[in-house]
Structure 1
């Protein structure tokens, strides 16, 4: 029962992450309200899993990873290389995916960040003219909506975790 509630909280985070990605793409802003809601969903999910397993290791690892990410990315915000919303979103993401999902998240984040950078630097690869103009505008402004690859990596990691948990429970495939 606790696992199902934890998976439900993670599932509720998926549309919120999609909203964050869209708003960051459209406005280059990530609101504190959305980040705090993600933190609450992540903490709730981790709490349920910790109670079920009887171990607080995953929650401690997530807290340590979140703190390290915040401290590591804060100087980049101070130098105006990354937005404050991106720093906060990265610091909250380990709570959402848990310590066990950090490796998968890191690999996916690398892939999505490289694709984003490639598209921003080479907008001619994109099919639609208006979309191409928008990306060229982002390139001229010197901003990259980094919340998009962060959210995409988190969504994929959560989807993998949910699928793995359902498979382990012997649930029929979706």
Structure 2
């Protein structure tokens, strides 16, 4: 593994605690700050830049940028209709740059699973064990708010962790 690919993986690993922060803040106060989204954007762009230089192909970066643009344009009308929060739209637009073009399929499948679980828990809080947590989720349901940043972050964390594990496994097997 080249030094550039190692630095790329390090930038992706640094995004994991930030994604945990985004998920926690979206769950507790239903806010995703622009600062966190911009930091994720910088980490994602840096990681893609390093891996593109190391591999010698800009395909992954172009695919990620196109996916981010499509997601932003596709979700923007839902924000104007107040169906999705602005932070969720921005986070979804930045996430393809973080996971890379090669991780988009894994991210999409994980996002589908985590979004379904989140919707199920918000709509059926009786499935949850703790009374206080159940009351909180019922409060979210009454307000009509679903913290969509939580499944986005969870899917991104799992995708990034999978990419790091796959790269490290390839390194170990190549020796």
Range of TM-score over shorter length: over 0.9
Which residue number in structure 2 is paired with residue 115 of structure 1? Answer: 117
CA distance in 2, matches of 1:3, 1:14: 17
Q: TM-score, normalised by structure 2?
A: 0.97
> Could you give the per-residue CA deviations for residues 9-45 of structure 1, whole angstroms, max 9, x where no partner exists?
0000000000000000000000000000000000000
CA distance in 2, matches of 1:58, 1:3: 14
Alignment of 1:9-28 (within 5 A): 9-28=11-30
CA distance in 2, matches of 1:56, 1:11: 21
The counterpart of 1:31, out of the listed 27, 30, 33, is 33
Alignment of 1:84-95 (within 5 A): 84-95=86-97
Task: In structure 1, list runs of 5 or more residues that go unmatched.
Answer: none
TM-superposed deviation, 1:124: 0.4
The counterpart of 1:69, out of the listed 71, 87, 96, is 71
Which residue number in structure 1 is paired with residue 135 of structure 2? Answer: 133
CA distance in 1, matches of 2:142, 2:29: 15
Task: In structure 2, list runs of 5 or more residues that go unmatched.
Answer: none
Count of residue pairs the alignment pairs up: 171
Detail structure 1 runs of 4+ shifted over 6 Å in the superposition.
none
Provide the alpha-carbon RMSD of the alignment: 0.6
> Could you give the per-residue CA deviations for residues 32-89 of structure 1, whole angstroms, max 9, x where no partner exists?
0000000000000000000000000000000000000000000000000000000000
Q: Does 1:157 align with 2:159?
A: yes
The counterpart of 1:167, out of the listed 148, 166, 169, is 169
CA distance in 1, matches of 2:168, 2:5: 10
The counterpart of 1:142, out of the listed 136, 141, 144, is 144
Q: TM-score, normalised by structure 1?
A: 0.98
CA distance in 1, matches of 2:125, 2:96: 31
